[in-house]
Amino acid sequence: MNKTRVLFLCTGNSARSQMAEALLRKYADEHFEVHSAGLQPKDVHPYTIKVLDEIGVDTSQHTSKSLINYIGRVHFGYVITVCSDAEKKCPIFPGMGMRLHWPFEDPAAFVGIEEATIQKFRAIRDQIDTKVCSWLVEQGLLDGE
């Protein structure tokens, strides 16, 4: 069975796109080949790994990737930007199917004490989780209960 390829794109590929990639894999790995990338990739944020691990999703081996790795090389059924910066700057490139925009606040930009920062990462994780699940319900791949 050919899986539809999905690319989650944000600026740094350190938090939001990593979370979206991991969560879509968690719920629908049998339906999608899931990737994430950044326009200006940074290391995966340690709190991204931590808050996903809290819900049983192991991303300790995830690495940040550049959009350049995919442009003109891979066809995606969906390219989903998860930040406004990526939405504005993302080029149209060969092999891009449906383009969606799911804007989420950048938890890595939050300034506060450690516990408040972790809470921000959890909140964004939960928002992305809800969006991924609702999208899968729309696709008819997840029960909406």
Question: Does 82 map to a domain?
Answer: yes
Residues in the chain: 145
Question: Does 114 map to a domain?
Answer: yes
| Mean pLDDT, range 65-94, rounded to an integer | 85
Question: Does 144 map to a domain?
Answer: no
Q: Which of 7, 9, 10, 19 is catalytic?
A: 10
Q: Looking at residue 71, what is its pLDDT?
A: 85
CATH of residue 122's domain is 3.40.50.2300
Question: Does 145 map to a domain?
Answer: no
Question: Does 47 map to a domain?
Answer: yes
Q: Which of 23, 90, 96, 132 is catalytic?
A: 90
Question: Does 143 map to a domain?
Answer: no
Determine what percent of the chain falls in helix, strand and coil, rounding each to the nearest 5: 40, 20, 40
Give the pair of three-digit tokens for residue 10: 């944000």
Q: Looking at residue 94, what is its pLDDT?
A: 63
Q: Domain range holding 72?
A: 4-138
pLDDT tens digits, 85-101: 877 777 666 667 899 99
Q: Looking at residue 101, what is its pLDDT?
A: 93
* 133 is known as an active-site residue: no
Q: Looking at residue 8, what is its pLDDT?
A: 96
Helix axes 16-28, 114-138, angle to 10 degrees: 40
Q: Which of 82, 83, 86, 136 is catalytic?
A: 83
Specify the number of domains making up the chain.
Answer: 1
Question: Does 32 map to a domain?
Answer: yes
| Mean pLDDT, range 2-21, rounded to an integer | 96
pTM: 0.94
pLDDT band at 117 (very low <50, low <70, confident <90, very high): very high
Question: Does 43 map to a domain?
Answer: yes
Average pLDDT, rounded, for the chain: 92
